Amino acid sequence: MDAVSDIVRAVFVHAHPDDESLWTGGAIAAHIARGGDADLVTATWAPGTHRHRELLDAARELGLPRPPITLGYADSMVPESAPDAPSVLEVPFDEQVALLVAQIRLLRPQILVTYDAFGIYGHPDHIHVNRLVCAAADAAPLVHYRPESGQPWQVKSLYFATIPVTVVNLLRPYLPDERHLPIIGTPDADIDLVLDVQSQLGAKIRAIYSHKTEMKRSASMRNFASVPAEPQRQFLGREAYTRRDLVPGGAELAPEA
């Protein structure tokens, strides 16, 4: 991967197929449309499984220039997602950090994007991936950390996908069953970036619907699909992030042209 370039590279790291589309699909499409480069790393669902095939379809809809990188662990709640591999929660953490550091050093991104520390709504796999990304970003530039995994690389900024409290409150009247909206939300004042992704909404929705298995299986996804058009557009048409710069000035995700 060429590191000498003015193109800002972002790597999106998610736990499961469909997370990339639902939570960060607009940012992926917008970042690429505005001249950036992006890759996707997904922790679970092994190549050859049906949801991995759906992930490939979603990635194409979002305009990703390369196929997603799959770490190959099992979803902690779906063992058949990687029949010959352990759950993402069962592998020694240091081993996973080393694996992600190797990807960071290979891809050499300025930006890493993942979930907030609560995994947006408390999913243990999401929380685990947040911790994994933070640890790998800290380790990747260290000269003496796993030198066999590539040249050290300093990520400039971390972005954490979240939902503002105002958006949670907008959706809640339409989803009265708390099981379908177990989200507390981040206070609006604590949000560092809100991306208007209306111009990428078509690609984002097509990517979400590429995950046919999850759309059919998940009561939460079906309930979201039944929300009236305006609040649904408010939810899907804007994406919110908190930001942590690892070097002064950091790097901009999907900057305006």
| pLDDT the model gives residue 192 | 98
pLDDT at 183 exceeding the cut of 70: no
193-233 residue pLDDT tens: 999 999 999 999 999 999 999 888 877 777 777 888 888 88
**What is the chain's mean pLDDT, rounded?**
92
| pLDDT the model gives residue 47 | 94
| pLDDT the model gives residue 250 | 97
108-146 residue pLDDT tens: 999 999 999 999 989 999 999 999 999 999 999 999 999
Least confident residue range of 13-27, 84-98, 116-130, 175-189: 175-189
> Among 50, 94, 42, 100, which Cα is nearest to 73's?
42
Which tops the pLDDT comparison, 178 or 199?
A: 199
Tell me which CATH code domain 9-245 carries: 3.40.50.10320
| pLDDT the model gives residue 170 | 87
pLDDT at 64 exceeding the cut of 60: yes
Supply φ then ψ for residue 69, to 5 degrees.
Answer: -95, 125
| pLDDT the model gives residue 130 | 98
Which tops the pLDDT comparison, 173 or 75?
A: 75
Least confident residue range of 133-142, 174-183, 247-256: 174-183
135-144 residue pLDDT tens: 999 999 999 9
CA pair distance 10, 195, nearest whole angstrom: 15
Which tops the pLDDT comparison, 72 or 218?
A: 72
**Average pLDDT of span 243-251:** 98
% the chain with pLDDT above 70 = 94
Q: Are 61 and 18 in contact (CB under 8 A)?
A: no
CA pair distance 219, 22, nearest whole angstrom: 15
